[in-house]
Structure 1
Amino acid sequence: MSSDYVVIKCGGSVVNKLSAPFFLAIKELQDRGKKLVIVHGGGSDVNDMLETMDVTSTFVDGLRKTTPEVMAVADLVFNGKVNPAICRGVQKAGMKSVGLSGYDGPLIQAKLLDEKKFGLVGVAEHVDPTLIELLAEAGYVPVISPIVAGPDGMRLNMNADTAASHYASALKAEEIVFVTDVPGIMKDDQLIDHLTDDEVNTLMEDGTIYGGMIPKVKAALHSLSGRIQTVRIVGAYSRGLGTSITKQVQLHGS
């Protein structure tokens, strides 16, 4: 399997901020021969729709408890609003896109995490990237929502970060891109193009990386495992490829 896949994770806080320059920036990756896969959330849009439809929603241990009513709204928003919007952005930048969910294929076959506690939230049992590979090889950008397949045809909700990591692992991706609301890691108002994981830890210790960037960077560092060699932090509404983070061990040739 080719290892030139790049998985791009767009969180719920930025899906409505994805700009034309952002899509042109990821087109640069495709032009360099990378196969792109976009995985998105959309929690803020789901919250808005739940409020509009007067559907009660609660969180348990940081996860949204997905009742059948919440599941119906999430499915509607993820696959009826957010996914098509991202597909349009991809196409406007001159790329071809296909909107999917983890239910298609299915890409992810899941079981219930804990129905009593979390409702219709899934944990992956099997990941099959065949459909992604077929589309990517044909030049399409798969845009995937976090709805996955459960038992007996059931639709389940899955955290988009978790889904993205599953796809990256199954595809043996070389890189994960975290799309955020900042251009990347900054120092003295200048974007830092590249850092090692050791350098990132130093910048957190000396206060250069602070506030809301800390959890983003920690999530990026956590992703530097297995075959993932590079994590990139990119701004949702900026032109450019942001900050790349690699393992220090790479520089030692081991």
Structure 2
Amino acid sequence: MKDIVVLKCGGSTIDTLSEQFFTNIASLKKAGLNLIVVHGGGPAIKEMLTTLNVDTVFVDGLRKTTAPIMDVVEQVLAGKVNNALTAKLNYAGISSVGLSGSDAKLMTAKAKNFKRYGYVGEITDVNAAFLLQLIGIGITPVIAPIAIGENGVRYNINADTAAGAVAKAIGAEKLIFVTDVPGVMQDDKLLDFITDADSEQLIADGVIHGGMIPKVRAAVESLHDNLPEVMIVDGNQPKLTQNTGLVGTVIKKSIGVV
């Protein structure tokens, strides 16, 4: 199936996305594009953890996930955030269904490094056939980044990583990270494009840091022959539907790199 676009909506953007954003997404759908939405929910998780007085730390830009934190993560992502985003998409005329990565074994995973990150998972498989069935009947999947592992163990998946894995498995033609920042910034200037080779050097130099690290690495890992570039954009742009109107950072494969 052609013309599949994976949109990753950052948790920090969901509550602030304008009505125009959803109108733009509906326009993409009407133009014949098949959409898959993957979302985060960091701010909502942080708010709930604070309310419950549960301490949390970040390691390498990832939330270290203990068993109690995993319960909160699933409650917030698969419950509150997924339901709210799915409702907004349906209200905008986009027939959507909310899913957790554990539904129909949509995403399976193993521990990334249990000692270091806890129940943070590394995706081992994506049920692409299930997603193709849904979009084949005109349904837009809205995916909360929770995965299932051996013996039913749940894993917290970084949403950027999940979006990249879904895009690669499904053979998406476009992957767009919708966030609340213009893209990769260096010396207060937007980098229009970088290569996969550039990205690791920019990380080493501290130009790419914090939560942007997994976002960029997920973009790089999703690059392949049929998906030669990925874009990081600001979700509040007024013309998300027009490629020429998109402003952000394009991440491309290095010349000569397979």
| 1:179 aligned counterpart, secondary structure | strand
Distance in 2 separating the partners of 1:102 and 1:64 = 18
Distance 1:197-1:122 versus aligned 2 partners, 3 A rule:
closer
Q: Which residue of 1 aligns with 2:247?
A: 243
Distance in 2 separating the partners of 1:45 and 1:137 = 32
Q: Which residue of 2 aligns with 1:139?
A: 138
Q: Which residue of 2 aligns with 1:159?
A: 158
Distance 1:135-1:150 versus aligned 2 partners, 3 A rule:
same
Q: Tell me, yes or no, if the aligned pair for 1:19 and 1:238 is still in contact at 8 Å.
A: no
- Deviation per CA, 1:187-230: give whole Å up to 9, x if none: xxxxxxxx6658xx9xxxxxxxx999xx5996697367202144
Distance in 2 separating the partners of 1:220 and 1:154 = 23
Question: Displacement, 1:60?
Answer: 2.2
Q: Which residue of 2 aligns with 1:222?
A: 220
Is residue 139 of structure 2 the alignment partner of residue 175 of structure 1? no
| 2:53 aligned counterpart, secondary structure | coil
User: What is the TM-score with the length of structure 2 in the denominator?
Assistant: 0.78
User: What is the TM-score with the length of structure 1 in the denominator?
Assistant: 0.80
Q: Which residue of 2 aligns with 1:189?
A: none
Distance in 2 separating the partners of 1:52 and 1:153 = 28
- Deviation per CA, 1:136-158: give whole Å up to 9, x if none: 11111100011001111111111
Greater C-alpha Rg: 1
Distance 1:124-1:221 versus aligned 2 partners, 3 A rule:
closer
Distance 1:137-1:118 versus aligned 2 partners, 3 A rule:
same
| 2:13 aligned counterpart, secondary structure | coil
Distance in 1 separating the partners of 2:253 and 2:193 = 5
Q: Tell me, yes or no, if the aligned pair for 1:10 and 1:180 is still in contact at 8 Å.
A: yes
RMSD (CA atoms)? 3.1
| 1:99 aligned counterpart, secondary structure | strand
Structure 2 residue ranges without an equivalent (≥5): 185-191, 199-206, 241-245
Count of aligned pairs between the two proteins = 232
| 2:166 aligned counterpart, secondary structure | helix
| 1:35-184 alignment, distance < 5 Å | 35-181=34-180
Q: Which amino acid aligns with 2:129?
A: T
Question: Displacement, 1:183?
Answer: 6.9
Q: Tell me, yes or no, if the aligned pair for 1:3 and 1:171 is still in contact at 8 Å.
A: no
Structure 1 residue ranges without an equivalent (≥5): 186-194, 202-209
Question: Displacement, 1:168?
Answer: 0.3
